[in-house]
Chains A and B, each alone.
Chain A
Amino acid sequence: MRHLKILEYALSSLWRRKYKNMAIILVYAFTIAVLASILFLTHALKTEASFLLAEAPELVVQRVSAGRHELIPLEYGDRIRKIPGVAEVHPRFWGYYYDALVEANYTLLEANADHTPLEMLDGHLPAAPGECAIGSGVAAVRKIGPGDDLILVDSTNMGIVFEVTGVFRSPSDLLTNDLVILDRADLIEFFGTPPDLATDISVRVNNPKEINTIAEKIKRQMPDSRPISRSEILRTYAAVFNWRSGMMLSVFAAALVAFCILAWDKATGISAEEKREIGILKAVGWETSDILELKFWEGMAVSLTSLLLGLLAAYVHVFFLGATVLTPVIKGWSVLFPTFRLIPFIDPYQILVIGFLTVPPYVASTVIPSWKAAITDPETAMRG
């Protein structure tokens, strides 16, 4: 009960100096919002990446030549198929295409090798040469739909006309936004791929425990191949995003330090009126420990309000405004990437991390000033 009364007094005393406290809360909330935006954005991107890879093949085999990714002979696929435990082998054909008209990058993919579930918004996937289906991002940026034509420039600098037969999207926008699906023969001709080569080979494995063994066998039989398992891709994404967000957090730590200096300054610059107030409290029987508790509750109220405001602001910034300020740094992919919406997702862990990053520094920088206020001698304080 006593603690509640002190809390009540703390809240009313904060309210009496609302402008001063509002300034602190605003700056504090802004700092938290910046840090929380970074965490929310990376977390959303990580979730997005795991959605994207949920349907990916267990193993992708690339060929590496002179340390670079090369086209892989189709014959490799036949050799992989013979390894016990391999369920399915598919040579894949895909590539990137830069559209100078709208300054965006597309991913061009053959029609039948696609394993991800595509939700058709309209129309169907290409069934014959000369047809294509496009992701909703491409449809939006080119302002086309089923029945329209998509003109792309091929490797011989010839404009090729494809008829759009469908528009699709999938659970993860990141995956399909920039996708253009073509018939396999069209795609091979478009990129000028030599006849017995594919971009890479996807391998399905029946027993997930055998993936590493199979990868090892592929590597041993075809030393110039580079098998990559899905779990490795996921781990790499996670590590890269963690590293990026950690990097950004370290950069913005400067903002946190600046805020702590402000908090220290504000807490030290205690007004004469406030001093008198503490003096009177002590004169009417408050003990030093009570004043310290009062200051503790004040700090708590300020911290929690700011934390809540900061998290809200970060949520709005990341999930409603698309993290406009941060995306180029964190995403770090092509700047020509079409915009996409992130799936709102918050984890209690993120909130704990943010709380742990921001509250202790504030508390540490206000503890000495509040002690100084608490030990004020009532007599000198009231005399002014």
Chain B
Amino acid sequence: MTFKKIGALAACTALVAPAAFAQDMADDMTLVSWGGAYQDSQKKAYADPYAANNSDVTIVWDESSAEAVAKLRAQNEAGNITWDLVDVVAADAIRLCDEGLAMEIDPDEDLAEAPDGTSAEDDFGDLLVSDCFIPQIVYSTTFGYRTDMVPEGVEPPSDICDVFDLETYPGKRALEKRPINNMEWALLCDGVAKDEIYDVLETPEGQEQALAKLDTIKDDVIWWSAGADTPQLLADGEVFLGSTYNGRLFSAIEEQDQPIGMMWDAQVFDLDGWIIPAGLPEDRLARVKDFVMYATDTQRLADQAAYISYGPARKSSAPLVGKHAELGIEMGPHMPTAPENAENIFVYNYDFWADYRDDIDQKFQAWLAK
């Protein structure tokens, strides 16, 4: 370590003159992500290659994404931002942007163009849901079911409303312990048209309606709060079917050979990506921008899909998605964005949930406790 530092120092001194024209960049970079398989995919697809190209850079990982919003706010209030780049879901990015805790970016300046020259803004398209958000992947919240627990003589579940059908598909269900997604599915299966769901959910009557529909299965639901819960519950045979992130189901099915099937109907698309904390010093900001430019280019995002079954956020990356790095299976059909999986999808409504999340959550929790 000391030797390395001395070496770096010597190199710096030797290079002072020629390096003067280059922008000063910090040598340390703290990346915040989710840990687990997802962080590994980021590490392998772009952090390791970046570090290989820039040998003087030390990348430190922090697995705090789940508490990123609160911690960033605390860092900001203390006036000491220790993170350089933070991986968050889009809803959190919007919140951080609203609070002034994340830096606004200019897609065309800060992000790389597609190989064919399409601007970054067009390449990411609608996925740039906030001025501060740099999307990486599209993931979905969807259902997995135990193939060996499907009752005899019945087709495996293929419709979202099968979740609410206790007669045909008896057994416990695992649902997330929050209103988001559950309320939409409940309304959809209570006869509300897909494009009217948020209009209905905006009203107290609509919220009652959704909760009443959820009431019909409440006794048979195990409520989860961590994404790893559902695969575990499925593997243990505790539940017949349950919702979770599609990547978790992929690894349970393909990597751990569990008897689990996917039910893609009415899967909810959501985004995950980077934000740069507001108020970074110049040298650290320059380093982060350099990294982001590299890590979100077309090839890197496509590479990430070789490690985890989440769809790249760039349109231009889709054709480049290949085989799983270790299992050697084609990743295309396992992507939530694959045409046969995406026949009936929901897109997470960021504006709606930014407005109604706390209100509906309070009602939902009160309902849960009843």
Q: Real complex partners, A and B?
A: no
Q: Give chain A's interface residues, CB within 8 Å of chain B.
A: none
